[in-house]
Structure 1
């Protein structure tokens, strides 16, 4: 009976972890929950579409599905590092209830598991500035790194989603 109590205490102390896909935009590290990402692929050829916002690079055929491709650096107004060659980019494919979207990142995304306790809420002044763009889930801390954790489903506004579906 006593060993059962010890095991229960041990199980209770196991910390909840979150599994992220981590990538760089500009010089900063960003992450999204792995369950929000359907797949990661080398960015295929992109066909530009008329009358779309500049951060929507166009559409691509990924495994037989035609999906819109978004440049996250451009979406967030992040300056691309100069001197960074435009060789392979990678696309994170995300599937929401009403649409599928690809997000371009310039480096191979990495997998990382963090304890939930190491992710702090974004400072309230950041949240207040972007009431309609509340896509920052929090700031993850590991070693000397800060990782901005995004909620990929909140990156597009509802108007933008309707525009893409049209």
Structure 2
């Protein structure tokens, strides 16, 4: 075989190897991008009625056992009152009442009066959200959270407070934006 023909064959084999290496690298880069794109979100999950809800952890200052609540006059029915949490007097909100959710039947009568409060600290106000079961922590990829249909939103509130619906195993978790739950008038009322 002439030398020039042998060089051409070698070049073809080398180029084919280079192309397949390039394809492997490209496939790995695309897979890495797909992993990168699926940003993780840390959620605090709790039950309202029989359904699961979640709040992004950045919106939760702390979770504590609900202290004694003092009822305040002239507040909306879903505002249970105020409580002293670590020296701060904050309004305590019952989201089951706010959303018109029927409470789930009490299973554990021994701890029926034990509730937990998620302390939410916004720029202009702080509120506590009462939940009946100990909230759980969950890390989830953003690709597992679907945008909520607009007809599911509360028409009394100007902005959308449902960020999306997460699919975890065989259950759905409604992801809330706590900073949009209250109307402007309600925030003014609670802040004063």
Where in structure 2 are the equivalents of 1:54-93 lying within 5 Å?
A: 54-84=77-107, 85=109, 86-93=112-119
1:145 CA displacement: 1.0
Give ranges in structure 1 of 5+ residues lacking alignment: none
The residue aligned with 2:63 is 40
Q: For the pair shown, which has the larger CA radius of gyration, 1 or 2?
A: 2
The residue aligned with 1:146 is 172
> Counterparts of 1:110 and 1:66 in 2: how far apart (Å)?
25
Q: Deviations over 1:43-63 (max 9, x none)?
A: 000011111111100110000
1:13 CA displacement: 3.2
Select the structure that is richer in helix.
2
Q: Which has the higher contact order (CA 8 A, sep 6+)?
A: 1
TM score, norm. by length of structure 1: 0.90
1:8 CA displacement: 5.7
Q: Which of 1, 10, 13 pairs up with 2:34?
A: 13
TM score, norm. by length of structure 2: 0.78
Q: Deviations over 1:25-44 (max 9, x none)?
A: 00000000000000000000
